[in-house]
Amino acid sequence: MQYEVIVVGGSYAGLAAAMPLARARRRVLVIDAGRPRNRYAAHSHGFFGMDGWTPAEMLEEARYQLSTYPSVEQLPGQVQQARAHGEGFALTLADGRELGAQRLILATGVSDELPAIPGLRERWGRSVVHCPYCHGYEFERGALGVLATQATSMHQALLVPDWGPTTYFSQGAFEPDAEQTQRLAARGVAIERSRVVEVVGPDDGLTGVRLEDGRELALAGLFVAPSTRPADTLAEQLGCAYDEGPWGPLLRVDEFKRTTVAGVYAAGDASSAMASVSLAVAAGTLAGVGAHQSLLGF
């Protein structure tokens, strides 16, 4: 079946990409595997009009609003293969169906790779988080930690004190130099060099971390910058170029979210190091506008 645009990924960027195309009365299909990156979070914060909603509520409302446009279809499913076909593209779904489109928008996101520390993943998105702007306020200025996972963790440690007294856990790998030590001290950040070996607390809550020297430090929240990888291989199959981002590879896009393959657009966390609902929606909108204008020959 042929569509003008297929959007792969029906989270914030993908649904936002479909909206301008729907309003231009273009025939659009959104295919979604149902695994939004923030599905572990109890609530989402910082997006005007929906601050404090659950991720599921936000997506349900967005899907409903998009469904009121008759030229748009939404399909649950997993795309396994993508290739150029004629003047457009062909997609193969996990159930064997084949679909075609003149343009593709990839909004499939990334997968987070966390350190292998007991208790960490179980609390991911709740009391173990990555973004102080998204989650910091809810810790009520309690004691906070930053777990070093890479060099960019230093930037995180300098940000977090605005949300509570902060300890930087260097983990024996990302030791601050003299200048960084001075900057951390100016922000009131304590440096802890004994490794975190376990995250502790009831259920998915957090009471603190256990260190390799046997001590336990009380914390209200722990910030971690995970490494990321593309959630699927579709862009690679199509031949799209990647650049190395601060946490993992990112699809190379221009201001209208065009990838290096003509007719293929990308939006959301797969192509941006800055991750938030607001930024994903903005990027998706630009991708939708870019795809529409390309159909007009712009």
Chain segment 178-230, per-residue pLDDT in tens: 999 999 999 999 999 999 999 999 988 899 999 999 999 999 999 999 999 99
User: Is the fold of 2-111+227-295 the same as that of 115-224?
Assistant: yes
Question: What is the tens place of the pLDDT at every residue in 2-32?
Answer: 899 999 999 999 999 999 999 999 999 999 9
CATH class of the structural domain 115-224 = alpha beta
Architecture label for domain 2-111+227-295: 3-Layer(bba) Sandwich (3.50)
Written as six digits, the tokens of 161 are 């004190």
Q: Is the pLDDT of residue 1 over 80?
A: no
Residue 43, pLDDT score: 86
**Domain map (residue ranges) of the chain:** 2-111+227-295, 115-224
| Closest to 209 measured CA to CA, from 220, 225, 196, 195 | 196
Residue 277 φ then ψ, to 5°:
-60, -45
* Least confident window among 68-72, 194-198, 275-279: 275-279
**What pLDDT is recorded for position 228?**
93
Whole-number Å distance between alpha carbons of 170 and 173: 6
